[in-house]
Amino acid sequence: MDTELRELAVALFEIDALKFGEFVTKIGLKTPVYFDLRVIVSYPKVMARLAKALWKFSEDCSNIVQICGVPYTALPLATLISMDSNIPMLIKRKEVKPYGTMKMIEGQFKQGDNCVIIEDVVTSGSSILETVHTLRNQGLEVTDTFVVINREQGGRKNIENHGIRMKSLYTITTILAYLLEANKITPKIVKDVTDYLSKYQAPVISIPEKRVKIPFHIRATKTKNEIASKIFNLMEAKQSTLCLAADLTKADSILELADLTGPHIIVLKTHVDIIEDFNDDFIIRLKDLAKKHNFLLMEDRKFADIGNTVSLQYEKGIYKIAKWADVVTVHAVAGESIVDGLKNSLKNINEPRGIFILAQMSSKGALTNGDYVQNALLIAQSSNMVTGIVCQSNIFTNPGLVQLTPGVKLAKSSDDLGQRYNTPQSVVNSGADLAVVGRGITEADDKLTATLKYKKELWAAYEERLK
């Protein structure tokens, strides 16, 4: 093995994968040595030798079920290892795609599968720890990582601090020794690099605590929005994560439903513009029921206009939404000005208010994808008026924001108008904190029994998620 590593070090130098001069690392550190292993894809024999050498580390590991290469340089190495070992490979996306399967991890796996991470170069360990965070978020176990080069700048310690064993083919020290012995570099280069290593260490890196693993009562203390805190505390107190979509067209039907299900729901969601007999008395009675049964009111208005217009839509007209709705839904299409417009309508409102930014929709063919999703998340992070995010998957990490996921039914299905439904367990596993159930309750013969069933299954899925 030692002979093979010596020869491989020279081969890497000769294909310009190892460079000496003045460079800047990914984390901003100046360095006299740079490793560019991306070039190995042009040298299949060198790449194959590296993959085989890395996989030798597996002899000291047991129960490796999955392999994951850190994108992008390590992916070819992971692919070769997967093919040679006949062990399945997973691919971690740089970011979740809000269409198709909307997965952060591509590949087939089971909860608890042990996955080894393949990486090319470690400086601070941040790329490996980001990958560990994503894999563990999906229920995978990670205990080992196999690395080509350890730069000896603190990365190993950062990684091992998170319970990951790191095995590397090379340290900078060993590579320098091999290259000096082969007359590929000078003693001065060795001294310059050695002096650099003694002076510069990478910062300490820590994996953020998983949002979905933090209990609601703790997340209630991490919010910037009072309504978000109320929702978290209500969910904990009522042991429910149920948002009931009361998409009915008669005021009395909504009131009857609210009175029946109120003790078991967190939020009652309305579309007031579909109510055929809407009147001020309906709002008074609805607010009384919300107070009686301790739930919040959400108007699913999906505001999507310029600031001045949404300000008027929120405060004025026959609905006067700002006066009674604890929280409303908002499209991000108009940019941050839409939040300012809504906030402008609250000058005379003394009660707390919040908004849910709509980042993803549950309808087939929705255009809420790509950069739209990322920009929606940026808006959600920037304002203390934001209660949470409407989305279909676990696309954010801030524990102070509530993930609201619509389209929930006991059985996975769809309707004739493109609405897709997912089961309580699947939406909770995809990050949902508050789950929207509509027709599964409103069209049930026994609405209270249906409510209790959804409440029980959603809460059980949440408790399982915390384990």
**For 151-179, how does the pLDDT look when each residue is reduced to its tens digit (9 = 90+)?**
999 999 999 998 999 999 999 999 999 99
Predicted confidence at residue 416, as pLDDT, reads 52
Choosing from 300, 326, 433, 455, the catalytic residue is 300
Mean predicted lDDT score pLDDT of the chain? 91
Per the annotation, the verdict on 16 as an active-site residue is no
Predicted confidence at residue 130, as pLDDT, reads 87
Of 164, 129, 127, nearest to 145 by C-alpha is 164
Predicted confidence at residue 410, as pLDDT, reads 86
Both tokens of 219, joined, read 């997340």
Mean pLDDT of 100-112: 79
C-alpha separations of 206 from 68, 104, 222, 291, 396 in Å: 20, 20, 19, 43, 17
Q: What is the DSSP secondary structure assignment for residue 123, as one 8-state letter? A: S
Per the annotation, the verdict on 305 as an active-site residue is yes
Both tokens of 101, joined, read 């399967």
292 is in an annotated binding site: no
Residue 97 has pLDDT above 90, yes or no: no
DSSP secondary structure string for all residues of 6-68: HHHHHHHHHTTSEEEEEEE-TTS-EEEEEE-GGGGGG-HHHHHHHHHHHHGGGGG-----EEE
- The reported pTM is 0.64
Any idea which fold 1-199 has?
Rossmann fold (3.40.50)
Lowest mean pLDDT among 181-185, 188-192, 407-411: 407-411
Sorting pLDDT into bands at 50, 70 and 90, what band is 397?
confident
Q: Where are the beta strands (DSSP E) in 372-421?
A: 386-390, 402-405, 413-414, 420-421
362 is in an annotated binding site: yes
Predicted confidence at residue 17, as pLDDT, reads 96
pLDDT in tens, 267-304: 999 999 999 999 999 999 999 999 999 999 999 999 99
Tell the residue number behind the tokens 């909860």, with chain if given.
Answer: 111
Residue 377 has pLDDT above 50, yes or no: yes
Per the annotation, the verdict on 300 as an active-site residue is yes
User: Are the beta carbons of 294 and 261 closer than 8 angstroms?
Assistant: no
Of 443, 403, 444, 448, nearest to 427 by C-alpha is 403
CA end-to-end span of the chain, whole Å? 42
C-alpha separations of 403 from 23, 348, 359 in Å: 42, 29, 10
pLDDT in tens, 191-227: 999 999 888 888 877 766 778 989 999 999 999 999 9
Mean pLDDT of 74-94: 94
pLDDT in tens, 214-262: 999 999 999 999 999 999 999 999 999 999 999 999 999 999 999 999 9
DSSP secondary structure string for all residues of 151-197: -SSSHHHHHHTTT-EEEEEEEHHHHHHHHHHTTSS-HHHHHHHHHHH
Sorting pLDDT into bands at 50, 70 and 90, what band is 133?
confident
**CA–CA gap between residue 82 and residue 75 (Å, rounded):** 10
CA 112 to chain CA centroid, Å, is 19
Tell the residue number behind the tokens 């149920």, with chain if given.
Answer: 242
Residue 98 has pLDDT above 50, yes or no: no
Strand partners, 356: 329, 388
Sorting pLDDT into bands at 50, 70 and 90, what band is 99?
very low
Residue 149 has pLDDT above 80, yes or no: yes
Amino acid identity for residue 446 in this structure: D
Residue 280, SS3 per DSSP: helix
Choosing from 305, 320, 340, 453, the catalytic residue is 305
Cβ atoms within 10 Å of 460's Cβ, excluding its own: 14
Mean pLDDT of 404-414: 80
Instruction: Round the CA-based radius of gyration of the chain to a whole number and report it.
Output: 27
Of 424, 374, 377, 375, nearest to 398 by C-alpha is 377
419 is in an annotated binding site: yes
Using a pLDDT cut of 90, give the percent of the chain over it: 73
> Where are the chain's structural domains?
1-199, 213-466
pLDDT in tens, 30-47: 789 999 999 999 999 999
Residue 447 has pLDDT above 80, yes or no: yes
247 is in an annotated binding site: yes
Sorting pLDDT into bands at 50, 70 and 90, what band is 362?
low
Residue 381 has pLDDT above 90, yes or no: no
Residue 321 has pLDDT above 70, yes or no: yes
Indicate the helix (H) or strand (E) that contains 450: helix 447-466
Task: Give CATH superfamily name and number for 213-466.
Answer: Aldolase class I (3.20.20.70)
Residue 27 has pLDDT above 80, yes or no: no
Mean pLDDT of 410-432: 75
195 is in an annotated binding site: no
**CA–CA gap between residue 409 and residue 369 (Å, rounded):** 24
Q: What is the DSSP secondary structure assignment for residue 263, as one 8-state letter? A: G
Q: Is 278 left (phi over 0), alpha (psi -120 to 50) or beta?
A: beta
Predicted confidence at residue 55, as pLDDT, reads 97
94 is in an annotated binding site: no
User: Are the beta carbons of 69 and 93 closer than 8 angstroms?
Assistant: no
Using a pLDDT cut of 70, give the percent of the chain over it: 93
